[in-house]
Amino acid sequence: MIISINGFLLHSRKYKETSSIVYIFSPMKGIQSLLFKGKYTNKEKFKFSIFNEYIFTYDDKYKFPFLSKFETINEYNFDRKYYLLGLYINELLYKTLKQGYDFEKVYDYYKSFLYYLPQTSDNSINLALRFEKNLLDSLGYGLGMYSEHVIDEDNEYYYDFDYGFKIANQSQKKYTLKGKYLKEFFSNTLKSKHEIIILRNIVKQILNKIYPEMTINGDKLF
């Protein structure tokens, strides 16, 4: 059956002499691998890029569905200094998304990330944190509070994997932050780089807990 679906190219690798296997991310099926025949025999005809949205058309009657056509529907252009950050987000999606997740919601988060990336100036790590936060929510590991109590701006908080953010005592000294910044984090208004770095380290710890065998290489590059 011939299927057409919106999606993004996340990754590709060469397959035999003239073809490649492409990994696309779509709102309906998440991560899919397709056989892309003839990519290396006519490079101009079969030229397409990451960070652009396409309509992919493929035939799934074979054991390995093959891509027959693609058409650009949205181009996301940004300075190459943000390219590594984009690659990191692609790698994060490729290695974390499994069957059963809310792909449509993550797809919207990804499009929003690409849209705002050229507008981040020097605060791109904040945009990365926001995407990571949204992704964890979709994976069922949202960064929430231990209780419904009002956050005290002057208290120090730490993250407990099983319960969420809790008031820190004197023994918790690593990766703690004041309630003031925690409030800003939850309202997506956080700008302090020091606290953003703390929260991104917490995100890394959570990902390591969920996927102990997973290595995200791109995060080391920015």
CATH superfamily for 2-75 is Nucleic acid-binding proteins (2.40.50.140)
pLDDT at 38 (0 to 100):
66
**Which residues make beta-bridge pairs with 62?**
none
Q: Tokens representing 212?
A: 């102990």
Mean pLDDT along residues 143-157: 85
**pTM score of the predicted model:** 0.88
Rg (CA), the chain: 20
Quote the CA–CA distance of 11 and 167 in Å, as a whole number.
41
Average pLDDT over all residues of the chain:
86
Q: Tokens representing 91?
A: 């790698």
Quick one: which of 214, 183, 181 has its CA closest to 198? 181
Residues 56/123, Cβ–Cβ less than 8 Å = no
Beta strand 52-59 pairing with 66-75 = antiparallel
pLDDT at 23 (0 to 100):
93
Tens digit of each residue's pLDDT (9 = 90 or more) over 24-82: 999 998 999 999 886 544 555 556 788 999 999 998 887 788 898 899 999 998 888 88
In the chain, where the domains are located: 2-75, 80-221
Instruction: Quickly list H helices, 45-173.
Output: 83-96, 103-116, 124-139
CATH of domain 80-221: 1.20.1440.120
Higher pLDDT, 62 or 185: 185
pLDDT at 199 (0 to 100):
95
Residues composing the chain? 222
Cα dist from 110 to 12, 101, 134, whole Å: 19, 14, 10
Identify the three-state secondary structure at position 218.
Answer: helix
Residues 24/10, Cβ–Cβ less than 8 Å = yes
pLDDT at 136 (0 to 100):
93
Helix-strand-coil split of the chain, %, nearest 5: 35, 25, 35
In the chain, % of residues over pLDDT 70: 91
Quick one: which of 212, 209, 53, 193 has its CA closest to 129? 193
pLDDT at 184 (0 to 100):
94
pLDDT at 79 (0 to 100):
82
Mean pLDDT along residues 105-114: 95
CB atoms near residue 9 (< 10 Å): 21
Residues 6+ apart with CB under 8 A from 17: 40
Quick one: which of 57, 102, 110, 55 has its CA closest to 86? 110
Q: Tokens representing 154?
A: 């002057």
DSSP states of 169-187 as a string? -TT--SS-EEHHHHHHHHT
Tens digit of each residue's pLDDT (9 = 90 or more) over 124-137: 888 999 999 999 99
